[in-house]
Structure 1
Amino acid sequence: MITTHTPLGRLRRAVAAAALLAAAPWAQATNGYFPHGFGLKAKGMGGAAIALAHDAFGGVNNPAAAAFAGNRWDVGAELFRPYRDAQFVGATPVVESGRTAFAIPEFGANVKLSEKLALGVTVYGNGGMNTSYAPFPNGVNLMGGQGKLGVDLMQLIVAPTLAYQVADGHALGISPLLVLQRFEAYGLQGFSTMSQSPGDVTNRGKDTSTGIGVRLGYFGKLGDRVSVGAAYSPKTDMSRFDKYKGLFAGGGDFDIPENYGVGVAVQLTPALTVALDATRIKYGGVPSIANGSLSQLMAGQPLGAAAGPGFGWRDVGVVKVGVQWQASPQWTLRAGYNKGDNPIRPQDAMFNVLAPGVIREHLTFGATYAPDKDTEWTFALWHGRRETVVGPSVDFMSGAMNPAGTRIGMHQNGFGLQYSRKF
């Protein structure tokens, strides 16, 4: 019998509480539209986490790490502050997105069922194609539509996790990914005439999409001071956004891209650990994200077609470096650096007024305070340095092109607090 006083009973209660997170809206945009890290310990270390097992976020960082994370649960929230702006040079003033503050929850729980077997769950989100530009005084917005201009993409993932030690210090793990997407677009009336389904481009309200994916992981301890890890998630096939089948390539198709990474963590001294992750996100494998924008439109491909315009995002590689210092029995300090590619090229700047995910560098800091052996309070803060992309714009009425007509820019800040309990 499972009671609330057993590890499985505590996990069941924690999962029930985590279900409430599904109702919370969030948005993120760091490494493209993936966050720079998951769990506030990782976020304080530049996102480096694949070869570390210091919390219950194995379902997203590395499922195999659950075998070494012990019995615990972690719940946190962050205040994410992205600042986005856009301008058609020589034609409009700079317009800033009005949505600059988002509360983002995350949750993880983990239990050891035996010396070799562990079970966990992680609830987290992706997002970041989230903008809201006010119209000009005449009611026309940046993209020639009426009223406010913007999009809102949210991805909620629930990842149950199973990890097994196949040998002493070496584990394999698997996390099924249960995904819910929500999307809305508004103010894109000017694009309707370019679509194969003009009534399904904009102002259709919120639409949802579902899918099931998987993440696989390996975690190994190479002696007392070195650990290594690897994680892989193939592309997650999602159901279509039917209300926006005239906007996204493939009749509303918007899959989650394949992504993978490797990591190593080295304990240089009993108090000092350095971690390094190298990851890759394959945006280029999702047509609605990767198809060229102006190039496809000028080639006569309508919005919503299989080869229709997308955002033109390319694959990105990301390097994450973090340092952790056990300053005292109660205090652990962290710092990190995250550097990735910019997925947006100049020729696609115009469409990415809607999704200016151009950030390439993050500086991060964090700390954990442990008042007793079973309790932790963790905080992290980070800054994404400002980046801009300048590219061509097109007057769709005349067909005239301005080679340096579009400028998009972004910087961001964030702060998060997490409470953890061991049992």
Structure 2
Amino acid sequence: MFRAPRRLLIALVALLVAVPAGATNGYFFHGYGTKYKALAGAGTALYLGPMAIANNPATLAFGNPGYDATVSLFSPSRSYTVTGDPSGAPSTLGLAPGEYESNSDVSFIPSIAATRYLNEDETVMIGIAGFGNGQMNTDYPLATFDPGASFPDTNPTGMDLTQMFLAPAIAFSLGERHAFGLSPILAYQRFDAKGLAPFGAMGSSSNIDKLSNNDYASSFGYGTRVGYLGELLDFFSVGFSYQTKIAMGEFDEYSGLFAEAGDFDIPANWTAGVMMGFYGMGIAFDVQHIAYSDVASIGNPLLPNLNNAQLGDAAGAGLGWEDMTIFKGGAWYMTNAGNMFRLGYSHGNQPVPESEVLLGILAPGVVEKHLTFGVSKVLDSGREFSFSLMRGLWGSVSGPNPLEAPGQQTIELSMDQWEFGFGVTF
């Protein structure tokens, strides 16, 4: 049960990456599992089925054994707009003015989970889940960083990052009110980048052969999620979950792009939440923090790093993302007909500063607000079917092109999203 065979993980990834997608909270998904997604990802203090492993493994101790299978259709719309003509001055990198939209805007994202009791007195629950952690993808049908067509293989321009977790879990009940959970994580990720050769020509890469257009690179890594759940009152619970930074192997094919010779660890994150529920209705509220800045390839700024180190060096430039803190709230209501309706809303300041819009073209994770809705129905067979809808409201950030003459060009990044989810629990 607790072994994580790579063949199973790769099979799940093969489904996940059938068509590339975009991002939600930075590049993390807004929630995991159809029912949690319908609450905008809130639910650290709430058990809604085996996919709770991805949120807080401790909640398994207060749930029933079973299975979850979900699939989501995720559709982001990403674009950037350049205002102002290139200066043409030496040592600058000007972009073609205009508005440009990314292709590759639909993805099917599956997840599966299963749980069972480990002992006869039902105080220990074990389980396993396979799910996508997040994605970043852009696919612009032009030579974004090479408007003069001076280099081969710069059209199209973009990147594709996909991350997948396989997470066994165990949860212990400590009396009737408290539980602790532990979930070791085996992670797999793959990455591809296109159209970045101009940065090598500027002398900005430590290895121009490992900078761009090297097809997909992949790596494995490991980490841990721990959680606590406390039912302080019959109608009131608190929960906390912490995931360590996941140490990933390097993307060797892109050691001239990412800082620390192709290193791209998965950021640590924590979530704290409360839940209050009674008589078929309730509310949940979570706060999540994602430490993007602690990963050099994500957090290192473009400048001054690009002036002091080359891409791929330990101090090489990255995406320049800041940490994200996201506030999530959800509510649910059971009708007399047995339909469970869910609503949710989340808000978090997007991680891309105005100073980082140039490389932000590759990863415009600028959505800040999510509206969600869902409904579940338990049939006579005992199977529960669930549907969720997410609308990521339009977000944008604008700033100067940092590799152009001052005041010469402005870059605006924008994104909005839709997601439709379907799941079955039994």
Q: Same fold (TM over 0.5)?
A: yes
Residue 208 of structure 2 corresponds to residue 198 of structure 1: yes
Residue 240 of structure 2 corresponds to residue 240 of structure 1: no
**1:3-82 equivalence runs, <5 A:** 20-24=11-15, 25=17, 27-82=21-76
1:221-271 Cα offsets, whole Å, 9 max, x none, are 12211111100011111110000000001110100001001111101x402
Q: Look up the SS of the partner of 1:372 in the other structure.
A: coil
- Is the CA contact (8 Å cut-off) linking 2:146 and 2:198 kept in structure 1? no
**1:54-203 equivalence runs, <5 A:** 54-91=48-85, 92-114=97-119, 115-135=122-142, 140=147, 146-193=154-201, 194-203=204-213
Distance 2:144 2:205 in 1: 27
1:420 to 398, 403, 425: 425
- Is the CA contact (8 Å cut-off) linking 1:128 and 1:355 kept in structure 2? no
The 1:19–1:300 alpha-carbon spacing in structure 2 relative to 1, beyond 3 Å, is closer
- Is the CA contact (8 Å cut-off) linking 1:60 and 1:122 kept in structure 2? yes
Report what 1:382 is aligned to.
390
Name which of structure 1's ranges 171-180 and 287-296 shifts more when overlaid on structure 2: 287-296
1:191-229 Cα offsets, whole Å, 9 max, x none, are 113101111000001001111100000111122111111
Residue 284 of structure 2 corresponds to residue 272 of structure 1: no
Normalised TM-score (structure 1) = 0.91
How far 1:67 sits from its partner (Å)? 1.1
RMSD between aligned residues: 2.4
Normalised TM-score (structure 2) = 0.90
How far 1:138 sits from its partner (Å)? 13
Structure 1: stretches of 5+ with no match in the other structure: 1-7
Q: Look up the SS of the partner of 1:350 in the other structure.
A: helix
Report what 2:367 is aligned to.
359
How far 1:416 sits from its partner (Å)? 0.6
1:140-187 Cα offsets, whole Å, 9 max, x none, are 499987210010001010000000112222111100000011000011
Q: Look up the SS of the partner of 1:185 in the other structure.
A: strand
The 1:172–1:242 alpha-carbon spacing in structure 2 relative to 1, beyond 3 Å, is same
How far 1:128 sits from its partner (Å)? 2.7
The 1:345–1:224 alpha-carbon spacing in structure 2 relative to 1, beyond 3 Å, is same
Structure 2: stretches of 5+ with no match in the other structure: 86-96
2:380 to 372, 382, 386: 372
Distance 1:220 1:367 in 2: 27
Distance 2:75 2:59 in 1: 30
Q: Look up the SS of the partner of 1:312 in the other structure.
A: coil
Q: Could you tell me the percent identity over the aligned residues?
A: 37
Residue 340 of structure 2 corresponds to residue 349 of structure 1: no
- Is the CA contact (8 Å cut-off) linking 2:145 and 2:196 kept in structure 1? no
Partner AA of 1:410 in structure 2 = M
The 1:257–1:311 alpha-carbon spacing in structure 2 relative to 1, beyond 3 Å, is same
Residue 202 of structure 2 corresponds to residue 208 of structure 1: no
The 1:270–1:143 alpha-carbon spacing in structure 2 relative to 1, beyond 3 Å, is farther
- Is the CA contact (8 Å cut-off) linking 1:18 and 1:123 kept in structure 2? yes
